[in-house]
């Protein structure tokens, strides 16, 4: 679904990649059921997965 080049095309963060948007903005998109809330959900899930993956590496002393 999401591509690395997905760019926000509205509001305060117009022109910025979804990967750089503040979590609060992404959460607002989801809470208000914005037309592009699926992109926000995908980006937040991507961030959670990245943190979990990094935590697994660190727990194995690979950091």
Phi/psi for 17 (5° steps) reads -65, 145
pLDDT of residue 54: 85
Residue 21 contacts residue 42 (beta carbons within 8 Å): no
pLDDT of residue 1: 55
The pLDDT profile of the chain, 63 residues, written as one tens digit per residue, is: 555 579 999 999 999 999 999 999 999 999 999 999 999 999 999 999 999 988 887 776 655
pLDDT of residue 13: 96
The distance in angstroms from the start CA to the end CA of the chain is 30
Q: What predicted TM-score, i.e. pTM, was given to this entire model?
A: 0.81
């Amino acid at each position: 679904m999401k591509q690395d080049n997905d760019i926000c095309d509205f509001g305060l963060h117009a022109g910025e990649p979804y990967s750089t948007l503040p979590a609060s903005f992404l959460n607002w998109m989801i809470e208000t059921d914005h037309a592009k809330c699926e992109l926000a959900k995908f980006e937040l899930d991507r961030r959670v997965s990245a943190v979990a993956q990094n935590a697994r590496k660190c727990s194995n002393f690979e950091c």
